[in-house]
């Protein structure tokens, strides 16, 4: 046991002191948040209102097509040829839309002209606005009044409740929150196994090619060396994960405050511009700003409250406990196989040929996750949750939705049995492969190593 602890200590300290570990630990949360937040920020920052001139020969949209935050419509009476010649001169408008003669029974396509591309947002906004107006006119022609049209818009919230203990207990559930938490846990385990499993394989290959392995085996048994390497690197991964969580919480809190302030200032600015157009007195603008700020604060508070309530419907202590189990159990299972693969090759290129069979169950798990989220209680979900090679990802995707206790126990027992079995098989390959040089290894050769007697 002391020798395994020495190997664990060596693997852990040698890796956490590397510059690459420090850089990746610091950049990981930043890159993750950048991918998550920057698209939203860029979308918010790109708030330039496009002015679109419209020639409506149909006469159907002049009184109903209203401007929005992103698109301002200006109806003109010029001829199409003259308007196209003036497009771009003086930049009075960014695009020109021509609506030919048509009827609401047979609406035809419209034409948009521009000197500089106005973007897909303008096209989609224009299309949806025109479709909405045509639908409204068709319903009005059918005899519906405005109040009846307004009543057509219905928003029916759906609340999920799980019945437990034969109807004695009811527990509120949030499908969206369970989906988000399940996906996040599954992706983290998927990435961790690949990243640190590959690190185990790379470490074995490097020590084998540098002949350090021969020196180490003079005082450490192959099984002790393999387990020490796997456990030591797992501690490196847990350390990095913990640091990522802490840094992500800190950075995301700051980013959330920044985005909230940007959104509030953007909304306030738009409302102030609208108020300036409608009001003649400048003294009323500060009052408008105070009103908007008072309105925005409850809206933001409502969003945070909804998020907290949604997460409150999930058994988070169970999720955290199971995540740690499957996080480590999945890594140990696959880490032992990656170690065996690393021992079988003389270089990373040689070892790569054996990684595909190891990767296939992980890839299948990741691909099946989206289908299992649609039906967490299906037979496929149950089978993949118990099969040890797929259970780390699939079970973590299902647990936020609620899984019977017997399935969790069966899955954990299966994963432990799988870990012990595959670790034993991997150790048989490992003890032969680490001292094998200059020989092209095949799958047939690997199978023979399992049954070698020492």
HSE-CB at 8 with a 13 A cutoff on CA atoms is 13
**More confident site: 413 or 336:** 413
Give the whole-angstrom CA distance, residue 9 versus residue 4: 9
Do 98 and 111 meet the contact criterion of CB atoms below 8 Å apart?
A: yes
Neighbour count for residue 329 (Cβ, 10 Å): 22
Q: Residue 236 above 50 pLDDT?
A: yes
Q: What is the pLDDT of residue 214?
A: 65
Length of the chain: 454
Determine which of 167-171, 295-299, 421-425 has the lowest per-residue pLDDT on average. Answer: 295-299
Q: Which of 345, 307, 321, 334 is nearest to 415 (CA)?
A: 334
User: Which SS3 state, helix, strand or coil, does residue 136 take?
Assistant: helix
Give the whole-angstrom CA distance, residue 232 versus residue 212: 18
Q: Which two tokens stand for residue 12?
A: 């852990």
HSE-CB at 262 with a 13 A cutoff on CA atoms is 16
**Global pTM?**
0.65
**More confident site: 420 or 154:** 420
**More confident site: 196 or 118:** 196
Q: Residue 413 above 90 pLDDT?
A: yes
Q: What average pLDDT does the segment 366-371 reach? A: 86
pLDDT above 90 covers a percentage of the chain that reads: 5
Q: Which two tokens stand for residue 82?
A: 């003259």
312-365 pLDDT, tens digit per residue, is 667 788 888 999 899 888 888 888 888 888 777 766 676 777 788 888 888 898
**More confident site: 215 or 11:** 11
Q: Residue 120 above 70 pLDDT?
A: yes
**More confident site: 112 or 267:** 112
The helix or strand, by DSSP H or E, that contains position 49, with its residue range, turns out to be none
Burial of 338 (0-12, 13-18, 19+ CB in 10 A): buried
Q: Which two tokens stand for residue 89?
A: 């001169």
Average pLDDT, the chain: 75
Q: What average pLDDT does the segment 162-191 reach? A: 73
Q: What average pLDDT does the segment 262-291 reach? A: 49
Q: What is the pLDDT of residue 414?
A: 93
User: Which SS3 state, helix, strand or coil, does residue 354 take?
Assistant: coil
Q: What is the pLDDT of residue 46?
A: 56
Q: Which of 337, 335, 329, 336 is nearest to 413 (CA)?
A: 329
Res. 267 pLDDT band, cuts 50 70 90: low
Q: What average pLDDT does the segment 179-200 reach? A: 84
CA dihedral over 361, 185, 235, 322, signed as positive or negative: negative
Q: Residue 271 above 60 pLDDT?
A: no
Q: What is the pLDDT of residue 295?
A: 45
Q: What average pLDDT does the segment 363-390 reach? A: 88
Q: What is the pLDDT of residue 141?
A: 78
Query: Which of 2-11, 30-39, 415-424 reaches the highest mean pLDDT?
Result: 415-424
Neighbour count for residue 127 (Cβ, 10 Å): 13
Res. 184 pLDDT band, cuts 50 70 90: confident
The residue written with tokens 């392995």 in the block is 213
The residue written with tokens 């099946």 in the block is 368
**More confident site: 4 or 362:** 362
The helix or strand, by DSSP H or E, that contains position 375, with its residue range, turns out to be none
The helix or strand, by DSSP H or E, that contains position 53, with its residue range, turns out to be strand 50-56
Q: What is the pLDDT of residue 286?
A: 44
DSSP codes of every residue in 57-98: SS-SSTTT----SSEEEEE--S-HHHHHHHTTSTTS-SEEEE
Do 310 and 160 meet the contact criterion of CB atoms below 8 Å apart?
A: no
User: Which SS3 state, helix, strand or coil, does residue 171 take?
Assistant: strand
Res. 247 pLDDT band, cuts 50 70 90: confident
Determine which of 97-106, 288-297, 383-392 has the lowest per-residue pLDDT on average. Answer: 288-297
DSSP H helical segments within 152-221, as ranges?
A: 175-209, 212-216
Neighbour count for residue 368 (Cβ, 10 Å): 17
Q: Residue 171 above 60 pLDDT?
A: no
Neighbour count for residue 100 (Cβ, 10 Å): 13
Q: What average pLDDT does the segment 111-140 reach? A: 80
Q: Are strands 160-164 and 169-173 parallel, antiparallel or unpaired?
A: antiparallel
Q: Which domains does the chain have, with CATH numbers?
A: 2-40+177-450 (no CATH), 50-142 (3.40.190.10)
Burial of 46 (0-12, 13-18, 19+ CB in 10 A): exposed
Q: What average pLDDT does the segment 90-100 reach? A: 77
Q: Residue 452 above 60 pLDDT?
A: yes
Q: What is the pLDDT of residue 128?
A: 84
Q: Residue 30 above 60 pLDDT?
A: yes
Q: Which two tokens stand for residue 49?
A: 């209102």
Q: Which two tokens stand for residue 343?
A: 């021992």
Q: What is the pLDDT of residue 421?
A: 86
Res. 288 pLDDT band, cuts 50 70 90: very low
Give the whole-angstrom CA distance, residue 447 versus residue 436: 15
């Amino acid at each position: 046991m002391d020798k395994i602890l020495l190997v664990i200590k060596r693997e852990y300290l040698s890796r956490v002191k590397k510059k690459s570990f420090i850089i990746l630990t610091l950049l990981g949360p930043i890159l993750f948040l950048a991918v998550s937040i920057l698209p939203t920020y860029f979308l918010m920052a790109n708030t330039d209102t496009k002015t679109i001139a419209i020639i409506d020969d149909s006469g159907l949209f002049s009184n109903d097509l209203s401007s929005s935050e992103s698109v301002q419509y200006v109806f003109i009476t010029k001829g199409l040829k003259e308007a196209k010649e003036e497009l771009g001169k003086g930049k009075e408008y960014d695009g020109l839309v021509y609506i030919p003669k048509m009827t609401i029974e047979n609406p035809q396509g419209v034409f948009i002209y521009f000197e500089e591309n106005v973007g897909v947002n303008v096209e989609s906004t224009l299309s949806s606005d025109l479709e909405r107006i045509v639908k409204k006119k068709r319903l009005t022609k059918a005899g519906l009044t405005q109040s009846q049209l307004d009543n057509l818009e219905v928003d029916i919230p759906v609340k999920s409740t799980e019945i437990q203990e034969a109807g004695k207990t009811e527990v509120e559930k949030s499908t969206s929150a369970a989906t988000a938490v399940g996906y996040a846990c599954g992706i983290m385990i998927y990435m961790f196994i690949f990243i640190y499993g590959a690190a185990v394989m790379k470490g074995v290959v490097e020590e084998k090619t540098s002949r350090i392995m021969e020196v180490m085996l003079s005082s450490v048994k192959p099984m002790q060396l393999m387990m020490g390497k796997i456990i030591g690197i797992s501690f490196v991964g847990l350390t990095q994960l913990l640091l990522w969580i802490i840094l992500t919480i800190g950075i995301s809190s700051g980013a959330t405050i920044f985005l909230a302030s940007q959104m509030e200032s953007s909304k306030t600015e738009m409302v102030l511009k609208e108020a300036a157009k409608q009001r003649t007195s400048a003294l009323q603008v500060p009052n408008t700003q105070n009103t908007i700020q008072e309105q925005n604060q409850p809206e933001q508070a409502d969003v945070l409250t909804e998020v907290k309530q949604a997460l409150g419907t999930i058994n988070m202590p169970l999720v955290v406990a199971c995540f740690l189990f499957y996080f480590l159990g999945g890594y140990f299972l696959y880490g032992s196989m990656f170690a065996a693969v690393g021992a079988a090759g003389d270089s990373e290129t040689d070892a790569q040929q054996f990684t595909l069979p190891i990767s296939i169950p992980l890839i299948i798990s990741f691909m099946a996750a989206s289908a299992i989220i649609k039906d967490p209680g299906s037979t496929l979900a149950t089978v993949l949750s118990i099969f040890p090679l797929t259970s780390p990802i699939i079970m973590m995707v299902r647990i936020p939705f609620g899984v019977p206790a017997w399935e969790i126990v069966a899955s954990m027992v299966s994963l432990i049995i799988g870990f012990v079995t595959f670790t034993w098989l991997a150790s048989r390959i490992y003890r032969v492969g680490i001292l094998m040089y200059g020989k092209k290894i095949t799958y047939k050769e690997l199978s023979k190593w399992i049954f070698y007697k020492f």
